[in-house]
A and B are shown apart, each in its own frame.
Chain A
Amino acid sequence: MVNRIVVGAHYGLRDWLLQRITAVFMIVYIAVFFVQVLSGPTLDFATWRMLFTPQWMKYATLLFLFSLYLHAWIGVRDIVMDYIKHAGLRLALYSVFVAALVVYAAWSVRILWGI
């Protein structure tokens, strides 16, 4: 019997933990957001804009969206790891997802500070 020492890749915990932390943040944000929206008088474009005027709200929303992208990245990567065995195809898919998420991130900043 070959005495091969099996050692883990020494990563995986951070991603797993990040996915949980981002999930918690997103839940908190969504709760706060809904309270804000529902406590307002009527929901029209003006109140919607007002909602995003304070700087803290812009940052919180940005953090929410970044959490969402990170969360999605880990989730999508997990699915690809599960099902896609072909290295080339896997790399291509990763590239597409990462590119899309980076674009989304930049776009998010533009929208938030554009309102």
Chain B
Amino acid sequence: MSISKRQFDAVVVGAGGSGLRAALQLAEANLKVAVLSKVFPTRSHTVAAQGGVAASLGNDGEDNWHWHMFDTVKGSDYLGDQDAIEFMCRKANEAVYELEHFGMPFDRTPDGKIYQRPFGGQTRNYGEGPVKRSCAAADRTGHAMLHTLYQRNLRAHTQFFVEWMALDLIRDAAGDVLGVVAMEMETGEVMILQAKATLLATGGAGRIYSASTNAFINTGDGLGMAARAGIPLEDMEFWQFHPTGVAGAGVLITEGVRGEGGFLLNKNGERFMERYAPTVKDLASRDVVSRAMATEIKEGRGAGKDGEYILLKLDHLGAEVIDKRLPGIREIAMKFANVDCTKDPIPVVPTCHYQMGGIPTNIHGQVYVPDAGGEKVVHGLYAAGECSCVSVHGANRLGTNSLLDLLVFGKSAAEQIIRDIGSEKAQKELPKDATDRPLARLARLDSATSGESVAEVGAEMRRTMQLHCGVFRFPDSLAEGVRKMLAVAERVKHTFIKDKSKVFNTARIEALELDNLVETAVASMISAAARQESRGSHDRSDFPNRDDVNWMKHTFWWKEGDRLEYKPVKLKPLTVESFQPKARVY
């Protein structure tokens, strides 16, 4: 079968916040860019971000990037690389002003500046109290941002390949990445997109859990492709559970609700966060709040018939504030919880939300492989956004730092690509086996005449993650989880789809997505079982404390042989003093 080929300067896989930010930079530099997306760009999951984007603009009260940096380091439970964190926090204001210049409809302060609200873990003067740092467009910040970036890309005439799914990376014998093999979903045709630079911006894989705030499309495609191409995944044991997912539905309720003055109650009507985080209470960082909620539920103080959820009270804010600042939340509560939040509290539970780990990347978006204590850059491959691990979020991400991450590292990856391919005139020759792996995957699905359904195996994977790798983790359960997940991974190789047609075959797409999900799930289970401490979102009953002596290090998981390797956290920032690990109290 002959496969057509197209050549580009750069291929961007994914058209969410980081993909679009990068594509914009590349298109404006007049590079020949192709942006691939499984969905029309404005349907990418960035659209669902609600609360805001962090930047120490200081539009309402004093603020500065160093405070932001401290909060991020502390929020990461000292697992974040401090050079990357300094880089991000310093670039934040510029990134947000740029977005405003692009046309982003931010809310405004009375004097016409960008409106800012408090958010979890974001504090004034190194932890003294909440600070207003989250730049918001009502509770639709991600939507406004994604549309603005897409619109700006229209202006730059960026070339989009809409409803194309990247299947696998092309990597030659020297280890260089030369593009991707992708499939046009509408026709089922496979094509080689050869490029001097390939940027993965495919987002997270939150769909490995049963209860997730993530969209159906968040299947870790970039992670799967990287893992199959021999690139390790970093810190995959760290999954953020957002404190406020609508109970039963999983739909996200922004932390902005608490930023605007809402708070959590247990069944006795007690504002229990006062016990867990006396200073900032409900605005402690997400891992802390989620753990507190899970503890309340576990100890029988959950609300509801079976004590299975916590109540998020915001009616005291008044209908006017809710309609102005949190209109989307009112809609979601009404639709998914049957609650009018101007009168009654919303039932919420901690729900899988964000993947702190990902493809190892430096601050210039270059993907690297740990090599004898150092970092060996993978030539031609870049990553940005949730699929990457820079690592600015460490063991726990602060709310509103993710949108910032997309903007800052989307742009810096693009700038690096521009620098890198400026000197490079010709495309490298493609290896002979460039299309072997993806074609074999497709051929297997086409020829399988029996096997398990994709839905069944997928459900088992999600249940396993949910049960064995949740907010609280136990040694026996983790070990069993690893065993189960390896069995699931084996079953994934033998799935079967009834639909063999070409045109928009979503059964085939879901099967291909499961290949990617399961890589992520295996990486997460194995990394979690190996980390013998409690840090950030990773909380183990047998090792209840953080162990800075033995575990101030990043995990790297290789698909081949499920091998693990570790690399110390970078404590040295770019220009300032290090923040030394301290006990984390909010």
Contact = CB atoms under 8 A, between A and B. Distances in A.
Q: So, do A and B actually touch in the complex, CB under 8 Å?
A: yes
Interface of A: 1, 3
Contacts of A3: 157
A6 to B, nearest CB: 13
Contacts of B157: 1, 3
A3 B159 CA distance: 13
Nearest to A3: B157
A98 B47 CA distance: 52
B538 to A, nearest CB: 46
A contacts with B: majority SS: loop
Interface in B170-190: none
Contacts of B159: 1
By Cβ-Cβ distance, the 3 closest A-B pairs, closest first, are: A1-B157, A1-B159, A3-B157
A1 B159 CA distance: 7
A3 B157 CA distance: 8
B211 to A, nearest CB: 42
Nearest to B158: A1
Interface of B: 157, 159
A2 B157 CA distance: 9
A104 B273 CA distance: 82
A1 B157 CA distance: 7
B20 to A, nearest CB: 16
Nearest to B157: A1
3 contacts: A1-B157, A1-B159, A3-B157
A41 to B, nearest CB: 60
A57 to B, nearest CB: 55
B155 to A, nearest CB: 11
A1 B34 CA distance: 12
Contacts of A1: 157, 159
A10 to B, nearest CB: 24
A21 B159 CA distance: 46
Nearest to B154: A1
A3 B156 CA distance: 10
A29 to B, nearest CB: 45
A96 B159 CA distance: 48
Nearest to B160: A1
B68 to A, nearest CB: 39
A47 to B, nearest CB: 60
B208 to A, nearest CB: 37
A1 to B, nearest CB: 5
B446 to A, nearest CB: 34
A1 B161 CA distance: 12
A86 B159 CA distance: 35
Nearest to A1: B157
Nearest to B159: A1
A2 to B, nearest CB: 9
A1 B32 CA distance: 12
A62 to B, nearest CB: 52
A4 to B, nearest CB: 11
B254 to A, nearest CB: 36
B6 to A, nearest CB: 15
A39 B585 CA distance: 87
A1 B162 CA distance: 14
A3 B155 CA distance: 10
Nearest to A2: B157
B152 to A, nearest CB: 15
A1 B153 CA distance: 12
A89 to B, nearest CB: 36
A5 B322 CA distance: 42
B162 to A, nearest CB: 13
A3 B154 CA distance: 11
B151 to A, nearest CB: 15
B349 to A, nearest CB: 46
B276 to A, nearest CB: 54
A28 B159 CA distance: 56
A3 to B, nearest CB: 7
A114 B157 CA distance: 67
B271 to A, nearest CB: 55
A66 to B, nearest CB: 46
A1 B155 CA distance: 11
A9 to B, nearest CB: 23
B31 to A, nearest CB: 15
A39 B298 CA distance: 84
B34 to A, nearest CB: 12
